Each structure stands twice: as C-alpha cells, then as structure tokens.
Structure 1
Amino acid sequence: MTSPHSPLSRRAFTAAALTGAGAAVALPATAHASPGGGRDAAQIDELLADMTLEQKIGQLFVAVGYGPTADAPHPSNTSSTGVDTIAEIVRTHHVGGLIYFVWSENLQDIEQIATLSNDAQDAALDSGGIPLIISADEERGVVYRLPAPATPLPGQMALGATGSRAHARKAGDIVGAEMRAAGLHQAFSPVVDVNIEAQNPVIGVRSLGADPSAVARLAAAQIKGLQGANCSAAAKHFPGHGDTATDSHLGLPVIDHTREELDTLDLPPFVAAIEEGVDAIMTAHIVVPVLDDSGVPATLSHPILTGLLREELGYEGVIVTDSLAMEGVRTLFGDDRVPVEAILAGADQMLMPPDLVVAIGGVRDAVANGEITEERLDESVRRILAQKLRRGLFDQVHVDPATAADAIGTPRSVRTAQKIADDAITLIADDADAIPLAKGTSVLITGAGTAEKIEVATQALEAHGLQAVPLAGATPEQASAAAADVDVALVFTSASGFTTPASQVAVVTALAETGTPVVHVSLRNPYDVVHIGEVAASLAAYGNSDCNLEAVAGALAGDVSLRGTLPVPIPTADGTGEAYPVGHGLR
C-alpha cells in the first residue's frame, strides 16, 4: 500500500526550508551512546560469558504482558506468549524488557504499577540476574500512558509552538522522573518526525513541527531532560515518518523523498539526538526507495539501519523496532521471519511481536542454521546491557510502591505544564477583535470534547471571571438554540488528520449563522481553522489536556499573553495554497 504524495507536502517543505532548515545534514563528529567502555565493558563481557543462547535471544525482545500483577493469569498471555502470567513470560522467555499499556491492564494506578514493576524485576533477577528495562509510549499530550496523578503535559506540537528549549527540557525531565518513580526506565519518546504532510493520520500533533532545525533543537532538549532524569529516551521514527498520508499501523507507507530532502528535512533531528547521546532510536515501518529500492520497510532494511544509521550517522546505541504487530512491517514476511529480518538489518530490540513464541523460535532457528551468527547476537545484547548499566538497573531496580505517587504530578510539575500550555496557545485569526473577552461575558461552551473536558473548560473560564454555559455533545440545532442566550459561543473541534469531521463543522456553522460571535478552538491539529467557515476568532491549543483547556480560558480572558506561533504551516482547505505560514501567530 503506497502513500499519495499530495502537494501539501511540497508546500510545507518549502515553508520549513524558508525558516532556516535548508542546510544539509551534518554528520556527528563522534558516536554517542556506545556499548560501554572500561568497567562497563568488563562487566558486559562477564555477563555475556554467563548467558545461555536462550537468554541472549530473549534479551532482544520487549514483550507485552497482560494483567495488573505479575502473577495474575490472563488468557491473552497464554495465546500470545504460551504462558499464563507476566512473571512466567519473564522467567520462560528471558525477555529483555516489557512495555506497559492501559489495554493490557498494566496501568491502573501508580502503586499498582510500581508493584507490578518490582515483581516483574524479581522474576527477571531470579531467572538469570539480568534486570528488565520497562517501557511505555510516554509522549504526553495525546499519547500518554501513566494514570493520574501523572502531570498532564500539553504535548509535542505545543512545545513546538513555544519554541522554547527550556520548556522542552523541563517536559522531558518531568516525564523521565515520573516514569522512574513508577518503576519504568524507557520512554519511547520523543517523536522527532518533521510533520510536513497535513494529511498525516498518525503523527500530526505528536510532532514538534515542520521546521527541521526547530524540531532538532527541541528534541535534543527533551532527550537531555529525559535522560537527565535517568530515563532512556528513544527518538522516533527513523528515518522520518512525517511526510505520509498512510498510517503504518494499517498499511505500508512510501516516502519518496530525494536524498537531498532526507538530509535537509528528515535526518537533522536524528543527528541532533545522536549528538545528545540518545539511548535508543526507534525504526519506522516505511519504505524509502532512495535509501533502499527493495521495497522492504526501514525496520527490515540493512541499507537504512546499518548503512545509514550505524555507518553513515555513526550511531552506536540501541536500535529498537516499532511494534512488530503493526501491519506496516507484516506485509512481506511472516511473524517468524520479521524479527530475523530486523536483526539482519541491524536492529537490536524487537518490540511487541504479536506471537512471542513464534518470534523467538524464528530467531532461534536463524541462529541454529548460521543465518544469524552468535557474534551478531552478542553485538545487540552488548548494546542492550550497556543501556541497562547506563541507567543503573544493575544497582537498583525496585521502587517503593507506597511512596511512588508522591513524586508524580507534583505542584511544581503541574505549574510547569501550565506555563508550557500558556506559552503555546496560538491566536490564528481574530478579524473581529473578539479576544480578549470582557470579564463577566457569558460564554457557551460546546463542540468536540467529552462532558468531562467541557466541565474542565467551564471551571477554567469561571475561574478567569467569565460566565460559562456548558453544553456537551450538542447537535447543531441544540447549539444554535443555546447561542441565543449568551454573549459569545466557544466551540471546540478536534481532528487527527487534515480534514475536520463534518459533524464538528456542522456545529460551528450552525453557531455562526445565529449572529452570536463564535470563538473557535482546535484541540488537536491546528488545521481545523480552514474548514470551519468564518468565525470571530480562532485559536490553536494543540491538545485537550487540562492545562491546554486552562490556557484557552486564560487567553480568552486576557490573563494569558498570546506568545505561541504555528510550528506547522496550515494549507488552504483545497490543498492548493498556504493559508497560514510557519511562525504565524497574532499577539
């Protein structure tokens, strides 16, 4: 399945280049995140000498285990790993890591997560002495994993809208510290994809923006914050997933950039991550013909992972695949061959194979028949062990479940999140000089968003001296009727791609037809403004976390200074031009 390369991509690329991102990629002067030296190298040699072949193969896998406790049987464990519990997965398969999700029932509350992590580590230590690296897709913003009281950060594109390295570093520090407190050690973050395709269905607001130099600068700061908190970062998705209209969860995107475009657009953030000493780089399930014309995705491509990332860019840290359960990596090979092809390409860690028994069996067979040498196996195990040593996992892997939550969602972290969200809020249009609103103005709040989010916005507006009238889940007719009784209608939209859902547009249109001034806010991608018709004013919040909604209220009331600027260009609705450039933002 290929990705249509729309004209939006080229226009956005031009806009990014005009902001100073047109220089060719500079190779790193030195390789960072190397597989250990000195005492670490000696310890790794000692560990390797004591490991069985099964243990070495297991270290290459990061598994999903189902259940809230390590010893709770779960049918999904049985079907996907051949054993019943998380502890048995660790003991039987000697996996190098686990990844937690809400849907796998791992993330219920902080004390439970900490207890699960401790017990899983006990299983690892009892069955070979190699601690697990426990991970999560902890990007914050629209992709988050830890439950409350984890700090509700505003997300990547909000950071891009601030342009602040200090904000990016603090955000990374918060995520890293909170993960370590709960017994996790690896954030599959930050997203460093340069989002130049407005129709991108999978990256969008998860990206820092469309300017490669800005993305590189902010991503490096995030990595510094994450790893400064002793939590491994993983820059993703190599060599760049920002210019596709296909979701690699569902298909196999094709990126048809020239090598010059890769050097000026996609690769600079990864070079910056390498220079910052990032512990891991995650691969993308995308085809890049200019780098490898065989048709295999980057995850399985030797020219991309070894030729480009290892040899040309000089990266020596861990290469981790994106999920091996995604359709983009399963189109050409069976589940037993995918991890073999990834290892031969140069990957070290195999993330989330759909059937762990089949995946491990495939690698075992490849080692037995000489296709994967034990020397090649040892290269990856060395990198994984070096990462674990670097993060102190051989010194201390247990946390205190009773006090873990005390270090999470601290008042200071919440204040930092709010400051980032405040600085990100972007006034895109205000032809009617509608903002700020006078204190005491009555405001209808409706549109996209759950009743809970509408209630958060209601409380925030009232705290800023406005009279809020909430109407969650309103039809166009209900919204139109309610607008007759207020001074201003505030309407939220939220789109994951370029086109705003028609049902959301219908509510905005109905409100605009009443004659009541309409203030529009996009709660996800900022592109909605070109699809909704004429409104009095339009803001981009870049997320729907509580801090984003509080920032909207502060901006409407004039209590938050409007500093944010667009980190991505906004095309016209028909895709034939540019409505708003990178850097646009009214004050």
Structure 2
Amino acid sequence: MAIDPGLRRLILPTLLPAFPGLTAPQWAVDLVAEGLGGYVVFYYNIADTGQLRALTGSLREVRPDVLLSLDEEGGDVTRLGHLTGSPYPGNAALGAIDDLGLTERIYRAIGADLRATGFNLDLAPTVDVNTADDNPIIGTRSFGTDPARVSAHAAAAIAGLQSAGVAACAKHFPGHGATHTDSHLEMPTVDVPMGLLRERDLAPFAAAIEAGARSIMTAHIRVPVLTGDLPATFSRPALVDLLRGELGFTGVIVSDALDMRGAAGIAGSTAKAAPRALAAGVDLLCLAGQCDQDLVEETIAEITVAVDAGWLPVARIEEAAGRVADLSAWSIAAARAEDAADDGIGYPAAQRAVRVEGSLIGLDSPLVVQMVDAELNIAAGRVPWGLGPHINGTQQLQVAIQSASPEQVRALAGTRPIVVVGRNLHRQPAAAALIEALAPTNPVVAVEMGWPSAWRPAGVRAFVTTFGASRANGWAAASALGLTG
C-alpha cells in the first residue's frame, strides 16, 4: 500500500524494533537515517565488547541521538553477560540486603557498562512486587514482596542508572508480580480490587515517577477492574487515566514486546498490536525479539490503516513522537565522560545476600550436583549459572531433574557430603524428592538460586539461599560453602 511520506516520518520515531546479526544490516542503518526511534539489542547481537562497541557506534554515526536499548537488569536477566552470567547480583539479592546505597551503586555500575558500550536506554529496573511464589517470569527479577521495600529500591536503581547517563525504564506497569502465568505465552490476569492494586502493585511505579524515571514499560496483563478484557498495553484507562492522569507520569511509555502472546495473541499479529498500543497511550513500540525489515514495514502499514480508518488520530502519533524526541534529547544532554569501572562491586554484594540455615561445618570434598532446569525464564534466556566456574578440584555432576535417581548420585558420592544446586526447587517435585531421598544417607546441603519460598526439604544439613543465579551469586554460594579456595 502507498504510505504518505509525512505520515511515515511521523510513525518511525515510535518504533523500537530489533535486527539479526552482529552487525547492523543496511536496512537497519537506513531506518535510523530516516528517523527510527531506536533498537532493542539482544544476546544474539553480542559477541564481545569490541564487536558491540563497533555495532552501536555504526548506528550512532548515522544519528547520535538514536535510542539503543537492551534488557540489562543484572542478576538473571543480562545481555552484556549472556555468555558468562552477570557480574552483578539481581534485584532479589539487592532487596534481601536492603542497602539502598548499594543498590544505587550497582545500577550506576550497570549504567557505566552500558554507556561505555553505546547504550542510552536500559529496559530496567523491574519494579514488580513479586507476591506469587510460582510466578514464572518475575521471581528474582523483583526486589521482593514488600511494596515499601520494592519502592525504595526502585527509586535507588533509577537514580543509579540515570546518574550514569542511561535512561531507566521501570517495568511492568501496572504490576506483573502477582501473576501465575507468563505473558510471553498467554495473557495473565490479576483479579484484585483497585485499592489493593494501588497499595501493592502501583506503589513502586509512583516511587519510580518521583525518582524521575524517563520511561515506564507496560505489561501484557489483564486487570479486570482497570483494563476490562484487554491487556494494560491496549488500555487507555490504565495508561492515560491512571498512569498519566492519577500518577502524573510525563515520560515515555514503552510497550513490552508486541510479539508476546499477551499482545499479539489479542490483536491478531505483532504488527496489528502496534496501532492498538499507540491508541491506548504507548509512545515507543517494542516490536519483537525476532524482527526483520518486513515486520517493520508491516507495522508502519498497520498504523497507517488505523489512521485512515479514523480510530488512531494523527495527533496521538505526534504526541508519542514528541515524547520519544524528548527522551533522545535527554540522552544527549546526559552524556558524560566514561565513569571509572567499579571493578568487582557485584561479588562482595552477592556475598552479602547469601542466607544459610543450618550448619556448613564438616562438608569437606563434597559432590556438587547441579539440577538442570526443567523450566526456563523466557526473559532471561539460556545464561550459564551455578557453582561450576568458581570451584576447583571439587567433583561436579549435572543431572536432569526428571530423570535423576538417588542411586546414581549416591553411587558417585559414596559417603561424601552432597551439595544440590537448583533454581525454584519448590516448584519442581522431582528435585525436592531427590534431595529428601539423599538426606538419610549423606550430609546434604540444598542451594536455592531461584526465588526463595517457605518450602524447606526434610533432613538436609543446611539450606543456602542466594536470591539469584548470576555469576556473582554463584561465586558467593561457592564461597559460603568453602569451595573457592
């Protein structure tokens, strides 16, 4: 279809797609020159620091204020550290430590890493209050279960990031922490009264706004009292009446990825989700993790159709484009000399988060058994985790959760102590059964590197909680067990 060039120029700043490869394809470079809002960079775009700087630099040469973003939360969700794991503990560990100054320093260090590699927008921090132990997508990405604590750390994280010249994006509005399903796969529902939503889920967003967050990301979740049958991303009552009106947010509203089932599944496609999100009040549209030129052009076409049909006013697109331009201008004004690296800050921080219940005495020369995940946090992806990189001379065994047998493990361990390492053990009955079957014959320590729950296995010598599975968390656990020497 023929698209008016003026309308195309107006639409482009509202788009935040991705592209494949370690170098930007020509179409991606050309779109920056045309006025595209920016890009989301994923793990598959990153090989090493030198390559990444060359990639972002090639786009900034075309337009210095282009928004280059990624999901760098520290902890379990890392793009810069996707090959090794993040050197920083994530939000759950920071919330457990409860040192606001430390949280600000960690996020300032993350911001310095991002600025040094060419980024000016971090799709972080997660400010959801994780009240569901079986939440499959938030978990250790949350600062905790207490709205006041999450609010305080959200503000500290935003201050740290933005002091490094990187815009923060508080997510996932109006709060993804009480969900039991993953919006990548379906549209979760949080069916609570408005009073509870304000008191529990909205409090950290109010704190983020007060802290000056430059952007806020929507959630593809349904809150019947607020959004009816629609996800928040498509809801004007959520984004305009509540977020803009009641909470007073004036920055950029960013959508979560529109290819997720919670959005594309409702609209019919990723491209069709874009004009619905714009009409609801979104300013910057994250399109998809797997994106190409065809999807960008299809999205522009669908937005044009909505304008021609009369249900998406041109004034709404102008408003969105203006907010994105303001964010881009802020990123230029906030540019600063590269901070000195805060080397190693994450490792002692992760050590402060470790909690030990029971005794670690007499656990010499253990067999370390890592439970291979049966479940995968889609937002985190496949990032290395565990104690493995940090222990030398200690025998290790990786076992599949569903097929591991006590006899296999016991035969290898003999009479030695056994350290079982897992994530979200409380959600995996087979893992719990293995630990409890080993405890009567061997000294057993369980190491929980996922979301901490009230569950504790019977008969174990000790239970160790790390509040995350980053590289720093793994080192901290190995250190606590005396295995790093």
Q: Same-fold call, TM > 0.5?
A: yes
Q: 1:500 aligns with which of 402, 424, 428?
A: 428
Contact 2:385 2:470 in 1 (8 A): no
- For 1:149 and 1:170, the matched residues in 2 are separated by 22
The Cα shift of 1:167 comes to: 1.6
Amino acid at match of 1:96: G
The answer to whether the 8 A contact 1:491-1:518 is kept is: yes
2:257 aligned residue (323, 326, 334): 323
1:192 aligns to what? 127
> Could you report, residue by residue, the CA deviation over 1:132-152 in whole angstroms, capped at 9, with x for unpaired residues?
100001112111001478851
Q: Name the CA shift for 1:391/1:251 in 2 (closer, same or farther; >3 Å).
A: same
Q: Deviation per CA, 1:348-383, whole angstroms, max 9, x where unpaired?
A: 011025622221111123334443333222211121
Q: SS of 1:471's equivalent? A: strand
Q: Does 1:309 align with 2:243?
A: yes
Number of positions where the alignment pairs a residue of Structure 1 with one of Structure 2: 459
CA distances 1:97-116 after superposition (whole Å, capped 9, x unpaired): 101112xx311111111111
Q: Which residue of 2 aligns with 1:465?
A: none
CA drift of 1:89 comes to: 4.3
C-alpha separation in 2, matches of 1:484 and 1:280: 55
> 1:63, 1:95 within 8 Å by CA — same for their partners in 2?
no
Alpha-carbon deviations, 1:211-238, whole Å to 9, x = none?
0000000110000000000001100000
Partner of 1:87: 29
* TM-score, with length taken from structure 2: 0.88
- Which residue does the alignment assign to 1:480? 410
Cα deviations by residue, 1:385-429 (Å, 9 ceiling, x for unpaired): 111111117989xx9xxxx9xx79x4x332x101211111112x3
1:96 maps to which of 37, 42, 52? 37
Equivalent residue letter for 2:427: T
**Are the aligned partners of 2:85 and 2:471 in contact in 1 as well (CA < 8 Å)?**
no
Whether the aligned pair in 2 keeps the contact of 1:499 and 1:531 (CA below 8 Å) is no
Q: Residues 448 and 493 of structure 1 are in contact (CA less than 8 Å); yes or no, is this contact kept in structure 2?
A: yes
Post-superposition CA distance 1:248-294 (Å, at most 9, x none):
0000111111111011100110000000000100000011111132x
Question: Aligned equivalents of 2:129 and 2:385: distance in 1?
Answer: 32
Work out whether residues 370 and 396 of structure 2, in 8 Å CA contact, stay in contact via their aligned partners in 1. Answer: no
Say which SS state the counterpart of residue 230 (structure 2) adopts. coil
Q: CA deviation at 1:452?
A: 8.0
3-state SS of the aligned residue for 2:395?
strand
Letter in structure 1 aligned against 2:55: L
**2:69 aligns to what SS in structure 1?**
strand
Letter in 1 for 2:447: V
- The 10-residue stretch of structure 1 (373-382 or 298-307) with the greater mean CA deviation from structure 2: 373-382
For 1:499 and 1:151, locate their aligned partners in 2 and report how far apart those are by CA, in whole Å: 24
Q: Contact 2:13–2:38 at 8 Å: present in 1 too? A: yes
Indicate the residue corresponding to 1:379 in structure 2: 319
Residue aligning to 2:468: 543
RMSD: 2.7
**Do the aligned partners of residues 476 and 368 (structure 1) sit closer, same or farther apart at CA in structure 2, a change above 3 Å counting?**
same
CA distance in 1, matches of 2:348, 2:450: 18
Which amino acid is 1:541 matched to?
Answer: T
CA distance in 1, matches of 2:262, 2:366: 45
User: In 2, distance between residues paired with 1:178 and 1:366?
Assistant: 40
Normalised by the size of structure 1, how large is the TM-score?
0.73
- For the 8 Å contact 1:449–1:492, the answer to whether it is kept is no
Distance between the aligned counterparts of 2:437 and 2:478, measured in 1?
23
The residue aligned with 2:13 is 59
Tell me the percent identity.
Answer: 34
5+ residue gaps, structure 2, are: 374-383
| Cα distance change, pair 501–188 in 1 and its aligned pair in 2 (3 A) | farther
Secondary structure of the residue that 1:337 maps to in structure 2? helix
Q: 1:119 aligns with which of 39, 58, 63?
A: 58
SS in 1 for 2:265: coil
Q: Deviations over 1:123-167 (max 9, x none)?
A: 4x3xxxx73100001112111001478851111111111011012
Q: Which amino acid aligns with 1:358?
A: E
Per the TM alignment, residue 531 of structure 1 is displaced from its structure 2 partner at its CA by 6.0
Asked if 1:219 corresponds to 2:154, the answer is: yes
SS of equivalent to 2:283 = coil
Per the alignment, residue 455 of structure 1 pairs with: 388
The answer on whether the counterparts of 1:140 and 1:155 sit within 8 Å (CA) in structure 2 is yes
User: Match of 1:179, as an amino acid?
Assistant: L
1:35 alignment counterpart? none
Q: Secondary structure at the match of 1:242?
A: coil
**Which one is further off, 533-542 or 218-227?**
533-542
Shift of 1:205: 1.1
Q: 1:472: how far off?
A: 3.4
**How far apart in 1 are the matches of 2:92 and 2:164?**
22
Q: Distance in 1 between matches of 2:426 and 2:175?
A: 19
Q: Give 1 or 2 for the bigger CA radius of gyration.
A: 1
> How far 1:453 moved relative to its partner?
4.0
Within the candidate set 66, 69, 82, 1:132 is matched to: 66
What is the one-letter code of the residue matched to 1:534? Answer: G
Amino acid in structure 2 at the alignment position of 1:134: L
* Secondary structure of residue in 2 paired with 1:281: strand
Cα distance between partner residues in 2 of 1:332 and 1:216: 31
Answer whether contact 2:75 2:86 (CA < 8 A) is retained. no
